Structure 1
């Protein structure tokens, strides 16, 4: 299933949730702290899904993730002249060995 299909399914479920919350508010009244909290959570979820939908349809979201920052490391050995001024780490200097 594609991201677009998943988001559409999520939106339908969210719409059902919001309708159910509305019916509950009518039956038990909208003044209680519990139903206000459920309404606030449902509204927050609706806003989060809208942000997710925007992010998923942005041009950068459609590109392959992480492919632009790959670095190729060659299999060839490094030029040993690059290391003439350094010591073998952990072994001490070559000239100080006894």
Structure 2
């Protein structure tokens, strides 16, 4: 199983308008990456890819903007670290399936 498969079902609610674009980018980035053995390893991979994609570590708590996710509107491109820390990454880790 590839990690990208756990991104299939999107969250019901997002933090800011750039979060869905980040979700899709992470899904693409992890399209050819095999599911690791443990949820802890998956969490580590997700945190690393989040940082690579955004330029911010997951523990950066203030909202920020990623220019390539800007598609018009006031909060366009906005990323909510709170959403990713409290909801997005835990949701994905919960979907871990041992290989």
- Common fold: TM-score over 0.5: no
Compute the TM-score of the two structures, normalised by the length of structure 1. Answer: 0.31
**Would you tell me which structure has more strand in proportion to its own residues?**
2
